[in-house]
Amino acid sequence: MEKSSTGLEANVAGLLCYVLGWVSGLVFVLIEQESKFVRFHAIQSIYVFGVYTVAWIIINVILGWIPILGVIINILLWIAWVGLAVFLMVKAYQGTQFKVRWAGDLAEKWVSRQAK
């Protein structure tokens, strides 16, 4: 696997794009200059977990007045967040450019525009 401009192997950098959700994606978008693979995973992380974070906030505002239901839904959302993050980390580490439906397409377009 190629090296990224961060000095890490591209698959390791791609994995790290998902560790802290959209925050780590943002960090890698700002520091990665060369690897399209890493930039793809960074942008996809921002899209997927950014939307996920906004949805989580909205759901918590709506369900804030129903404590038990709010706790159950928060646990389910957390499990889904961790599961998706781990899945995407594994795919990135394997060197796969796995695309989450809409986010992967947007990330691919963004990376191809930046390369021109």
Per-residue pLDDT of the chain (116 residues; tens, 9 = 90+): 788 888 999 999 999 999 999 999 999 999 998 899 999 999 999 999 999 999 888 888 887 778 888 888 889 999 999 999 999 999 999 999 999 999 999 999 999 887 65
Taking only Cα atoms into account, the Rg of the chain, rounded to an integer number of angstroms, comes to: 15
What's the pTM value of the predicted model, to 2 decimals?
0.89
Query: Cα–chain-centroid distance for residue 34?
Result: 19
For residue 42, count other CB atoms closer than 10 A to its CB: 29
